[in-house]
Structure 1
Amino acid sequence: MDEERPPVVLVPRGGAWGEAVAAAARQRGLDPVVVPLIADAPPEDPAALDAALARLAAGHEDSAEDADEDGVPDGRHGAPPTGRTRPDAAGPGAPWLVVTSATAVRVVAGRVPRLPAGVRVACVGAATARAARQAGWPVDLVPDDESAAGVAAALPSDAGPVLFPRSEIAATTLVDGLRARGIAVSEVVAYRTVGTGDEPVVLAPPPDAVLVTSGSVAQQVVRRMTPLDPRTHVACIGPSTADAARAAGLPVHVVARSRSAEALLDAVVETLHPNPRTGRSS
């Protein structure tokens, strides 16, 4: 690796996210190159999303009407009153909004400026939770296992109806997990993830690392960047993304310890061994 330059990392999305990740990379002595491989697009049927969000609000109103004078629902949603409350004082039967990406947060917040007061919010990980809080949402649950399976396992068994606004190509892990536990969940496409073109992406010199933040990114790397230079590390944001990258035919060299861009960059730095004094590879 060239000792006269910092390690080059390819950031696969543009916009505010790409700018923030590029800034975080520079802080770590890396040289980011933003090459948007994917972008977000509206769902084919935006009316379905609006209707689902309206039902979420209506579900909250139903829960409030079912509450007794102490504010405890009467169990109409399938769980009898237990007398216990969650740390935020919400009783059983409260509706939940589950989000597994910052993009889902942005889309929903753009259509519903304020969530109904009684709706609980579960986020797949710290980065999604940060986006939710920035949107003004209270965050009630972030699982220790930052994955769709982790959310499905951690949601309270007495949860009310769950809405899952998702990417068009999201896996069924979350929905299957909740239904297996007997929790009512409805899913709706909130956005589509699309490629940004077909032309090959060639960087000179080749990047030292490519950040792979989703299965969609992995597919676009395969479509537009393979064969990768043997010196290029494929860095994945989490185990599920690493599995998707391998399924797409990519080698995986780096997996972040937690599901955030910051943790991914830290893992890249650790793998590439930059010199602490110069920020350059040693």
Structure 2
Amino acid sequence: MNVAVFRPDDERLADAVALLEDLGAEPVPDPMLAVEPTGAAPRSDAAFVVVTSKTGVELAAAEGWTPGDATLVAIGPATADACREAGWTVDRVPEEYTSAGLVAELGDEVDGARVEVARSDHGSAVLTDGLNDAGAFVHETVLYELVRPAGAGDSADLAADGDLDAALFTSSLTVEHWLDAARDRGVEREARDALAEATVGVIGPPTAETAEAHGIDVDVVPDDAGFEELARAVLE
């Protein structure tokens, strides 16, 4: 199976390619996200600090930031592991690794508290709105911007030629950037038609909602929001 993977062009893409090869698939690496750091660091006066990605943790650590006495909340295991690698103690990880899961985890505790949310420029309003509704004083720091890399879209051409068997979308932005790349290459209609015949996997409900809002039928949403779980479920 030819399987398109859209992770950023760093160790995440290399690991994804290696995993797909181990599972007997033919990876089609086509990065749809590139990170542009802002140079900002989270505030240090919050009672709770929420981090939502490995990238955000690494950038905050590079700026010399530490959580101090704040309750540190990571959106999922990969982000928590990055926090520990930075030397930080992770206090909380929600049962559901989504913005809604974070709100459910903290909603009963943040009334009147300062909450710092440190993430990309494309973070979901579900998190900040939900915490605000719970009575928190929320401040958001944008640690990095996510852009579509120049030259992205080889997998859209492959799909348009009828040679793509599966696609693994790992965020809402990968869906949107893939469609943008197909449009820029003049193959959007053909690429969309090909996805309808391929197996489309997404990493979680928010990404599924985005795909479906753009007219893409989703075949697989794994129970656990991790890349390995997504890849295995799609191949099965």
TM (norm. structure 1) is 0.71
- Residue of structure 1 equivalent to 2:177: 220
How far 1:264 moved relative to its partner? 0.8
- Residue of structure 1 equivalent to 2:185: none
Q: Secondary structure at the match of 1:255?
A: coil
User: Once the two structures are superposed, what CA deviation does each residue of 1:89-123 show, in whole Å capped at 9, x if it has no partner?
Assistant: xxxxxx2221122222222122126x244222111
Give the direction of change, closer, same or farther, for the CA distance of 1:269–1:133 in structure 2 (3 Å limit). farther
Distance 1:244 1:131 in 2: 27
Higher-Rg member (1/2): 1
Give the direction of change, closer, same or farther, for the CA distance of 1:269–1:251 in structure 2 (3 Å limit). same
Question: For the Cα contact (< 8 Å) 1:37–1:217, is it kept in 2?
Answer: yes
Paired amino acid for 2:21: R
- Residue of structure 2 equivalent to 1:97: 49
Distance 1:263 1:11 in 2: 14
Distance 2:205 2:49 in 1: 24
C-alpha RMSD of the superposition: 2.1
Corresponding position: 1:9 with 2:16: no
Corresponding position: 1:258 with 2:224: yes
User: Once the two structures are superposed, what CA deviation does each residue of 1:123-182 show, in whole Å capped at 9, x if it has no partner?
Assistant: 122222222223322221111122101101212644442111122122211111111111
Distance 1:200 1:170 in 2: 23
- Residue of structure 1 equivalent to 2:168: 211
Distance 2:143 2:108 in 1: 25
- Residue of structure 2 equivalent to 1:191: 144
Give the direction of change, closer, same or farther, for the CA distance of 1:145–1:249 in structure 2 (3 Å limit). same
Identity over aligned pairs, percent: 33
Q: How does 1:133-212 map onto structure 2 within 5 Å? A: 133-155=84-106, 157-159=108-110, 160-197=113-150, 200-201=153-154, 202-203=157-158, 206-212=163-169
User: Once the two structures are superposed, what CA deviation does each residue of 1:9-58 show, in whole Å capped at 9, x if it has no partner?
Assistant: 11112111101111222222222221112211123xx4xx23xx3x31xx
How many aligned residue pairs are there?
220
List structure 1 segments (4+ residues) > 4 angstroms apart after TM superposition.
none
Corresponding position: 1:110 with 2:62: yes
